Chains A and B, each alone.
Chain A
Amino acid sequence: MILSADQSAFRLWCKPMAIASTSASTSANQISTDDLMIVNAARVLGTLAAAGNAACFVGIGLPSTAANLARHLYSPEPVLIYESGCIGSKPTRLPLSIGDGELADTSDSVVSVPEIFSYWLQAGRIDVGFLGGAQLDKFGNINSTVIGSYEKPKTRLPGAGGAPEIAATAGQVIVIMRQTKRAFVDRCDFRTSFGFGDGPGHRERLGLRGGGPKIVITDLGVLEPDPQTCELVQTQMHLGVTAEQCVENTGWKLRIAENVITTEAVTDREVNALRELQSAT
């Protein structure tokens, strides 16, 4: 289970916050920060699918919602792969767990758990992995194991699930997390999933085959790794978000890209498709 890429277990950790609608949408729907993250992640998936990188390893929570939204909005659709063994799932409602019957019933193929991890993930058939966690550091490493020390944890988190091998092997990794000082840290208390490790060249030295984290989507905007230093830099901000806000909510000395841009406002089409998906659940 994802986390594997499972965001949901961290809900206790991350205070939900609704921001005033900053969307150009004329819909009566209030756009929450979750919606902003989901829509922006769906856009990334849509773009990747259009470029032929469609096989997406999905976890429950925001990643699953975003991946399903992308399936409704874009053609070609991303191929949704769940670690429970579902390949090419087309659920009509959003699953609560990665093992909901709906996922298996709507899949092109259902395989065993050893198969999904060996024939599909390890063999390099996954283009995109979606991850979240309790902590993310400036080099895109993720902690979903413990806060505090391993021997005497302050908070025991669910653990690795499928995440370490997704982070190592997927063609690229998309991270979805709320941007807070507590979660975006200089160094993770525990390295559950490897991003760029200690910096440039570290993935290569370890022989990791996947591309690592390429984009981090947050409630404030988007971070991307600097190609030279591998350090995550704020490259996009949602409408109404300031650079100061981003810096304040990041535990390392965050750099704002010189050419930082504003993410496109959520469109009616996007929000309507999202609401339709949510109401079917």
Chain B
Amino acid sequence: MAEILSLKEAIARFVKDGSTIAMEGFTHLIPHAAGHEIIRQSRRNLHAIRMTPDMVYDQLIGAGCVSKLTFSWGGNPGVGSLHRFRDAVENNWPHQIEIEEHSHAGMAARYVAGASGLPFGVLRGYVGTDLVDQTSSIKTISCPFTNEELTAVPAINPDVSIIHAQRADREGNVQIWGLLGVQRESVLAAKASIVTVEEIVDKLTPVSGGVVIPSWVVSAVCLVSNGAHPSYASGYSERDNSFYKSWDDIAKDRESFVEWVKNHILGTTDFDSFSRSVGISALV
């Protein structure tokens, strides 16, 4: 059964120094508030996994929380570079990070394998690319039935997966709709999971295209309204594209980034106070 916890308590309990964490949300439902809380609690040496390490991991990397990154696309969608990620890879700032690089198809197969209790996922992928030479977790395997050569990638089983979702009931059953990304797979692949939600309701009513993750596979549910911002939760908010654009300037140089983290994350107590600090309204 999921416990309803404050985000602060959930991060303190489940995310430890050296943990392997996955924070997912494919543009939609990105758990930004949880990322901030990890920075506030000064977690270090995390192995951070995410298909698209966009702004949320740019912040974690720049704040020095990450020692290894596993990913498949590291940019600011529609805007440009991810400056803190680039600075870490190109210049070892704030320190060196190890990278394990995949494609989206490979990462998706890895999460599915993790959620399925299999040691690896199989796909037709990576063939002919230079990724094969750089990433040791890409191997070939031959089909026992046809002898066709295919690609194997190891399962992802994080210590903790963290996602944002639309809502939960008081028992901690979680409901998600809209772009589902790998939300379900990342939770089911993990040893523990934290889900931040827009709203906690008495009873979940069905939504077209929606899925429910039952309470008994979730560790903690935390009420954080607008906690995906500047990502969004379909039905509750819209993507704050201007915030993504403004991140480019904030993250471009080290000083302005450090200042931003100091003022708005380390200098605030929780997501509400962060929101007031950067001047975003709770709900669109």
Contact = CB atoms under 8 A, between A and B. Distances in A.
A163 interface: yes
Given A60-B78, A110-B179, A207-B149, A99 B239 contact: yes
A153 to B, nearest CB: 6
A84 B72 contact: no
Contacts of A194: 127-129
Contacts of A113: 26, 51, 104, 108, 180-182
Contacts of B130: 145, 150, 190-192
B124 A169 contact: yes
B124 A165 contact: yes
Contact of B52 (A1, A193, A208): A1
A: interface residue count bin: 35 or more
Interface in A226-240: none
A110 B79 CA distance: 24
Contact of B179 (A8, A84, A154, A169): A84
Nearest to B24: A113
A208 B178 contact: no
A4 interface: yes
A162 interface: yes
A200 interface: no
B203 to A, nearest CB: 24
A60 to B, nearest CB: 5
Given A84-B27, A168-B127, A156 B86 contact: yes
Given A8-B80, A190-B130, A85 B181 contact: yes
A190 B132 CA distance: 11
Contacts of A209: 124
Contacts of B101: 145, 159-160
Contact of B104 (A61, A162, A207): A162
Contacts of B241: 96-97
A203 B81 CA distance: 31
Contacts of B128: 168, 191, 194, 197, 202-203, 206, 208
A86 B180 CA distance: 10
A9 B76 contact: yes
Given A9-B80, A84-B27, A156-B89, A121 B181 contact: no
Given A160-B73, A162-B104, A104 B125 contact: no
A11 B80 contact: yes
Contacts of B85: 156
Contact of A160 (B124, B129, B184): B129
Nearest to A153: B90
A267 interface: no
A161 B180 contact: no
A6 interface: yes
B80 A97 contact: no
Contact of B105 (A61, A165, A192): A165
A71 to B, nearest CB: 19
Interface in A72-112: 83-86, 95-101, 104-105, 110-112
B81 A9 contact: yes
Interface string B116-131: 0000000111111111
Nearest to A111: B180
Interface string B167-189: 00000000000111110110000
Contact of B178 (A110, A159, A193): A110
Given A84-B27, A158-B75, A160-B73, 17 more contacts: A9-B76, A84-B28, A84-B181, A96-B78, A99-B181, A99-B231, A101-B232, A101-B234, A110-B178, A113-B181, A153-B89, A160-B72, A160-B104, A165-B124, A190-B130, A206-B127, A208-B127
Interface of A: 1-4, 6, 8-9, 11-12, 60-61, 83-86, 95-101, 104-105, 110-114, 117-118, 121-122, 145, 150, 153-165, 168-169, 190-194, 197, 202-203, 206-209
